[in-house]
Amino acid sequence: MKKIVCLLLSAVMTLSLLAGCGSSGSAASSGGEEKDTLIIAVDEDISGLDPFAQNTSLQNTYTILNYDSLLSLDPATGAIQPGLAESYDIISATEYVFHLRSGVKFHEGQDLKASDVKFSLERAAASTGMASKVSQIDHVEVEDDQTVRIFLNTPSTTILNNLAFCGTSIMCEEWCNANKDSFKNNGTGPYKFVEWKPGESVTYERNDDYWGEKGAMKYLEFVVKTEANSRTIALETGEIDVNAAPATIDFPRFESSEDIELYSVPSTQVAYMSMSYNYEPFQKLEVRQAIAYALNKQEIIDGFLDGYGVVKTTILGSGQQYSDDSIPGYEQDIEKAKQLLAQVGYPDGFSFDLAIRGESRSVEAAIIQSQLAAIGITVNIKKMEGAAYTDLAMNEQMQANLGSWQPATSDADNPLRNLLYSSSKASSNDSRYNNADYDAILDAAIQETDPAKAQELYSQAQMKIYEDIPMIPLFAYYWNIAANKHVKGVVIPAVGDAMVYKNMYWE
């Protein structure tokens, strides 16, 4: 018996010795050697390699490393700048000519030609994820190797925002046709795709022949760590250098830590509560007003986001084009709310189902539930699985829900149209708002080339949302990145949903 116990003890000791021999694998601890890989932890994995297959922020983050579009966005300001196209001419409201830079090569060696642009835009139109981004394009003509002419089927100024978005990335026609059965990355971007280990990591290598400002680090390795705690711990031990999705609950730890820097800026992702016109009580404007007067948005931010949020009175994020933060909000006024309800026949309140997707908004829903209880309204929180939640909207069975919108492009039209335009019924117009005046404002604004006039129109649209209350904008999330103090060049973009990593480096 003693022998067995001895054997066991020595086995455990040996094991722990071996474990101790290997360090925790942090590249950071290797002194003297210059660090050439920046390790970033992300909270999920991509589902596939094709940038056009799905419009998700993680995929877009990778796409902008690998590919370029005709135009690009300045991360700090969100302004549209030249990309693969050095310049463009607006021939008419429906005709644009783009002049491509010369000498640009794809990572696999092919030269960039105008025919690649035509191919890529047509590929996007036939794709599953990016078709809506090129739906305004009627057809594309190739004039010569450096010149592309794009014809729109409707006058639109947002085509420029769409062409600055990575969903219209330019791919190599020859390469894509040769790799039709199994997509392989080949872009013109600042980083080359190295490999994808599904469920584990994605690795990129700097493109030293890049036509523009070269990437700072030689290698970028994105590791998948789905559990928030393990991302936090990995950052503290130095196993990773950047935590792309820190949990707000860990912020005090980061802020008091000497080794970690927290970057936190208001994002363009705005959360809202939507009330459906299909549900009888919500058909009365006074009921919507009452609910707006009953809510205390700051309390929601404090309780749900630990203060890391900004109250919003408009659905457009502050960095979004034509957002108008002067739109008034409804200051909490319980008495007024009760009066309004009584006015339209609900002196004792009523009840409704508030649908939320998954677990993430449950604290927020509970806060709203208690705020509305103060005016006699009973909120039934319905936590739903993602696909079932979407189905509820599509089958016109939603009563109210908590949603949010993160515009992938920088234009005002994106959120205003997707969320509230009458024909956006598929899944995003939760409230089923159907207002011809609102539609008309958006249709006029999208064609308006004078920025001052466009601002007027978009402010009108935002005011209309304030007056009709199809939805109540609640708050803008903060975009947070936690990184090791040695990581420099962290810039959180002002618009879009793709984080910019190409300028980050280790010092």
Partner 1 sequence: MKGMAKYILHRLVLLIPVVIGVSFLIFFIVNLAPGNPAQMIAGAEASMEDIQRIEEELGLNKNIFVRYFEFMRDFILHGDLGTSYYSDKAVVTAYFERFPATLRLAASFIIVAVALSLPLGILAAVKQYSIIDRLSSFVALIAVSMPNFWLGILLILLFSEKLGWLPSGGDKYWYSIILPALTIGLQMMALMTRMTRSSMLEVIRQDYVNTARAKGLSEKIVILKHALRNALIPIITSAGSLFVDCVGGSVVTETIFSWPGVGKLLVDSISKRDLPMVIGFVTITTIVITICNLGIDIIYALVDPRIRSQYASGK
Does residue 25 belong to the site contacting partner 1 (CB under 8 A)? yes
Does residue 184 belong to the site contacting partner 1 (CB under 8 A)? no
Which one among 177, 386, 436, 507 touches partner 1, defined by CB under 8 A?
386
Does residue 253 belong to the site contacting partner 1 (CB under 8 A)? no
> Residue 450, by phi and psi: left (phi above 0), alpha (psi -120 to 50) or beta?
beta
Helix, strand, coil percent content, the chain, rounded in steps of 5: 35, 25, 40
Does residue 255 belong to the site contacting partner 1 (CB under 8 A)? no
Q: For the segment 125-144, give every residue that binds partner 1 (CB under 8 A).
A: 128-129, 131-133, 135
- C-alpha 104/C-alpha 388 separation (Å) is 46
**Among the residue ranges 144-152, 236-244, 311-319, 470-478, the one whose residues contact partner 1 (CB under 8 A):** 236-244
- C-alpha 461/C-alpha 445 separation (Å) is 9
Q: For the segment 78-117, give every residue that binds partner 1 (CB under 8 A).
A: none
Which one among 14, 23, 153, 278 touches partner 1, defined by CB under 8 A?
23
Phi and psi dihedrals of 243, rounded to 5? -105, 105
Does residue 31 belong to the site contacting partner 1 (CB under 8 A)? no
Q: Output 290 or 315, the one with its CB closest to partner 1.
A: 315
Q: How far is the CB of 412 from partner 1 (least distance, A)?
A: 15
Q: How far is the CB of 398 from partner 1 (least distance, A)?
A: 13
Q: Print the binding letters for residues 387-426 with partner 1: x by CB under 8 A, - otherwise.
A: xx-xx--x----------x--x-----x---x----xxxx
Q: Print the binding letters for residues 303-342 with partner 1: x by CB under 8 A, - otherwise.
A: ----------------------------------------
Could you write out the three-class secondary structure of 391-440?
HHHHCCCCCEEEEEECCCCCCCHHHHHHHHCCCCCCCCCCCCCCCHHHHH
Identify which of 400, 395, 450, 352 has the alpha carbon closest to the alpha carbon of residue 93.
450
Q: Output 145 or 259, the one with its CB closest to partner 1.
A: 259
Q: Output 237 or 296, the one with its CB closest to partner 1.
A: 237
- C-alpha 469/C-alpha 274 separation (Å) is 9
- Token digits of residue 196: 């994808």
Q: Output 5 or 452, the one with its CB closest to partner 1.
A: 5
Does residue 10 belong to the site contacting partner 1 (CB under 8 A)? no
- C-alpha 168/C-alpha 45 separation (Å) is 22
Using alpha carbons only, give the angle 493, 148, 135 rounded to the nearest 5 degrees. 60
- C-alpha 506/C-alpha 487 separation (Å) is 5
- C-alpha 87/C-alpha 70 separation (Å) is 9
Pairing of strands 85-92, 242-243: unpaired
Interface ranges with partner 1 (CB under 8 A): 1, 4-5, 7-8, 11, 15-16, 18-20, 22-25, 44-45, 47-50, 53-56, 128-129, 131-133, 135, 181-183, 197-201, 223-227, 229-230, 233-234, 236-237, 239, 385-388, 390-391, 394, 405, 408, 414, 418, 423-428
